[in-house]
């Protein structure tokens, strides 16, 4: 599975009850693992997580948006630091 491929059903296809946080985390964990060690792909998946937050909140019990934003900020910072260390 590509980490950049589409993921999960749309919110309109959601079941009658919200899925648990563990299902939400497992879904994104699978996407991050599919990215391997490529920090750029992980940043893209993290941005997708932020972009889909409202949709996911209707389907899953999700962590608060600030936690998701902090995670994305850390991914971007890590990616930038690797570029600085490795050079152009």
Q: Let me know if residue 48 belongs to a domain.
A: yes
Token digits of residue 31: 């996407």
- pTM here? 0.66
**Number of compact structural domains in the chain:** 1
Instruction: Tell me whether residue 51 is in a domain.
Output: yes
Assigned domain for 66 exists: yes
The domain in which residue 45 lies consists of: 39-88
State pLDDT tens for residues 21-56. 899 889 888 988 998 888 889 899 999 989 999 999
**Is residue 28 assigned to a domain?**
no
Residue 30 maps to a domain: no
Q: How far is residue 7's CA from residue 52's CA, in Å, rounded to a whole number?
A: 10
Compute the distance between CA of residue 15 and CA of residue 32 in angstroms, rounded to an integer: 25
């Amino acid at each position: 599975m590509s980490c950049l491929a589409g993921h999960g059903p749309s919110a309109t296809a959601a079941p009658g009850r919200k899925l648990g946080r563990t299902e939400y985390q497992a879904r994104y964990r699978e996407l991050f693992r599919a990215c391997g060690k490529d920090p750029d792909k992980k940043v893209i998946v993290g941005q997708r997580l932020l972009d889909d937050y409202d949709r996911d909140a209707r389907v899953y019990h999700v962590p608060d948006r600030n936690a998701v934003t902090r995670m994305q900020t850390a991914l971007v910072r890590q990616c930038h630091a690797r570029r600085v260390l490795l050079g152009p």
